[in-house]
A and B are shown apart, each in its own frame.
Chain A
Amino acid sequence: MKMEAKGLHVDRVTKRFGSEDTEVVAVREVSLSVEPGEVVLIMGPSGSGKTTLLLMLGGLLKPTEGTIRIDGVELSALSESKLPDIRLRHFGFIFQDFNLLSALNVLDNVSIAAELAGVTRREARRRAAALLGELGLGRRLRFSPEKLSGGEKQRVAIARALVNDPALILADEPTANLDSSHGHETMRLLREIAKGRGRAVVIVSHDQRIRDIADRVLWLEDGQFKEAVTMAVDPVCGMTIEAGGPMAVYEGVTYHFCAEGCRRDFEENPGRFAGPSVPPAAVTNVT
């Protein structure tokens, strides 16, 4: 195991399925670094290779080529037998369907992950209770998962993902089954995990709202990251949008809008919307 810098470092990773005529390249020479405290959102159309990439990042699939390092540990060099332990200790998984264990209560759903990593039952339960308390579930410890709302279930899943103090949180469509308010709550939590706890967070999602909390948004298409995505805030409605739509220039500054209606409103009274409080367009890079 070669020790390197903290965080996730992916170097020219390729994943092929099948061979010769039936070969499919799901991910092609992807490179990526995610530092502790950073939230990276990977978007892309269905079949673009997002989940394949996520599975490789989580040690659930081995890349055909390239290397993946987490906190200096090279995943791609590890044997299959060593990956389960790495997954338990270095990764926290958050799934679309929460995937809680229905037979266990909230506390046990979280503490079992710590126990599996070798923590004593008592300490595991202490850690789990503390985490759940921080996530606002202190009064739900003995509840069965089926008695929780979608947002609460996702918070339990987040607590489970955090209980072993992992370096990297991998979230697969974490807001897909949540309503708007619970979706926002989950997004806020994911950002807090990155910023407050110093974890690297990688999210795969179709949910445009997650752009609001992402430090970087990467667009994966045909197994490759495409051009940089330019993000901007519509000065009229305040929505975070992808640049490229309606735009206007006022006093030398380019403003982007979600729709023509906002642009017209802006042009009728630009002084009302433009100003120092309006953030300029944010631009993200692919690596």
Chain B
Amino acid sequence: MFRLAIANLVQNKTRFAVSVGGVGLALTLVLFFGAVFAGAQSRLTVYIDRAGADVWVSQQGVRTMHMSESALPAAVAEDVKSIPGVEEVVPVLYTEGVIEANGKDYIVYVFGVPAGAPLGGPERVTEGAPEPGPGEIVIDHAVASEAGISVGDEVMALGQPMTVAGLTSGTSTLVSSVSFVRFEDFAAARGEGQVISFVLVKVKPGESPVTVARVIEAQAGDVTAQTRQEFASEERKLVQDMSADIISIMNTAGYVTGLAVIVLTIYIATVARRREYGVLKALGVRNGRLFQIVFVQAFLTVVIGLVFGLGLTLALSVVIPEFNELIVLSISTGSLLQVSAISVLLAGAAALLPARQLAGLEPVAIIRRG
């Protein structure tokens, strides 16, 4: 029966190619959006991941950078530094804003970092100065490329003109990127010198960031201290929650399209061979064996479609960043397993309608009445 299922499936090669292609494209849609989202999500916490801080201290109750604002007295940095287990502290200022270049605005996360700070400064500088000087800004090279600017050019940031001192890599997403300015410039632009956004903490070797974070919360007062992993996790969760509906709609659209293609393919293939299945029944083939045929056909269509979709998504993940560095595709094992599992369920669901057709098929009908 397995042989017959495969033979039936591939006999009409055009129909088979269209079916597998249709399923593959539908699953590519799901995998692609998942990969874009995962890529954007991985970039979302890139600053948190690379800043070098083991513990992030924020205003009490503030657990994310997005959709909240942390304001701490500048003195908190000194309080935290005196806590046992703390090796380094760096106060940083943070805001979401825009840089204006060549008449266009680009959304950026701007960090104000003290000169020579051991934590929180620019990472992976590909061109120019390793950190901004007075009146200078370090931006992501993908944004610079998009805006057509380079080191030495002038942009508007925090409401004032700044010179691009350096370019970093790997901090840009479709919607934003990370930029760095001098702490003093940020404070001056804000007009408030005694307030900071976060305190970045590096713990002493051998100390547990979790333990130190709890001690900071207990001793510094009115602050929330989270390990880097906790802070990044909260950040991802927030964005995931914000995007969940859109992602669900995208995935549902992809799965429904895939399901429709499989159902149509298997149904049409079954109806087209109704007479042959009737002959098999007349010869003595039971319904169960005929069901095997349609399930094998649906399963193979989905598996080949999935492989095609995965291949296409992997190809896109290589090709697209070559043309647009702002788009990063990240295919995780988890999302692949999820799509695979749902695809198998789709195959089962897609086979139900044709199987029902076969169950109701009367072999008598294939022999003319005399």
Contact = CB atoms under 8 A, between A and B. Distances in A.
Interface of A: 44, 46-52, 54-55, 58, 60-61, 83-89, 91, 93, 95-96, 99, 101-104, 108, 112-113, 116-117, 160, 172-173, 204
Interface centre among A61, A89, A101 (most CB of B within 10 A): A101
Interface in B2-41: 3-4, 7-8, 11
Contacts of A99: 275-276, 279, 366
8 contacts: A51-B368, A85-B284, A88-B283, A96-B368, A101-B276, A103-B4, A116-B283, A172-B367
Given A49-B370, A116-B284, 19 more contacts: A44-B370, A47-B369, A50-B370, A52-B370, A55-B364, A85-B284, A87-B283, A87-B284, A95-B279, A99-B279, A99-B366, A101-B7, A101-B279, A103-B4, A104-B3, A104-B7, A108-B4, A116-B289, A172-B368
A164 B363 CA distance: 20
Contacts of A83: 284
Given A60-B364, A113-B283, A52 B276 contact: no
A116 B285 contact: yes
A103 B12 CA distance: 9
Nearest to A172: B367
B286 interface: yes
B294 to A, nearest CB: 14
A96 B273 CA distance: 17
A60 B7 contact: no
A269 B4 CA distance: 63
B282 interface: yes
A13 B282 CA distance: 21
The residue among B280, B283, B286, B366 with the most chain A CB atoms within 10 A of its own CB is B283
A102 B276 contact: yes
Most chain B CB neighbours (cut-off 10 Å) among A44, A50, A60, A86: A60
A60 B282 contact: yes
Contacts of A112: 3-4
B366 A48 contact: no
Nearest to B10: A103
A131 to B, nearest CB: 16
Nearest to B9: A103
A214 to B, nearest CB: 17
Nearest to A43: B370
A204 B282 CA distance: 17
Given A103-B11, A104-B7, A108-B3, A46 B283 contact: no
Closest 5 CB pairs of A and B: A88-B284, A51-B370, A87-B284, A50-B370, A103-B7
Given A93-B283, A101-B4, A47 B289 contact: no
Contacts of A102: 11, 273, 276
A35 B368 CA distance: 26
A181 to B, nearest CB: 24
Contacts of B11: 102-103
Q: For the complex, would chain B's binding face be called helix, strand, loop or mixed by DSSP majority?
A: helix
- B275, B276, B366, B370: which has the most chain A beta carbons within 10 Å? B370
A48 B7 CA distance: 39
A163 to B, nearest CB: 10
Contact of B367 (A85, A95, A160): A95
A101 B284 CA distance: 15
A46 B368 CA distance: 11
A217 to B, nearest CB: 15
A244 to B, nearest CB: 23
Contacts of B368: 51, 96, 172-173
Looking at A52, A103, A104, A112, the one whose CB has the most chain B CB atoms below 10 A away is: A103
A84 to B, nearest CB: 4
A230 to B, nearest CB: 23
B284 A46 contact: no
B284 A55 contact: no
A113 B279 CA distance: 11
B184 to A, nearest CB: 77
A101 B366 CA distance: 14
A48 B289 CA distance: 35
Interface string B226-260: 00000000000000000000000000000000000
Contact of A84 (B285, B366, B370): B285
Interface in B333-370: 363-364, 366-370
Contact of A86 (B273, B284, B367, B369): B284
Contacts of B289: 116
Nearest to A220: B370
Nearest to A105: B7
B214 to A, nearest CB: 68
B251 to A, nearest CB: 35
A113 B366 CA distance: 18
Nearest to A90: B284
Contacts of A93: 282-283
A51 B13 CA distance: 37
- Among B4, B275, B367, the one with the most A-chain Cβ atoms within 10 Å of its Cβ is B367
Nearest to B8: A103
Nearest to A59: B284
A95 B281 CA distance: 13
A46 B370 contact: yes
B354 to A, nearest CB: 16
Contact of A54 (B273, B275, B281, B367): B367
Nearest to B366: A99
Contacts of B286: 84
A88 B284 CA distance: 5
Contacts of A58: 282
Contacts of A85: 284
Contacts of B279: 95, 99, 101
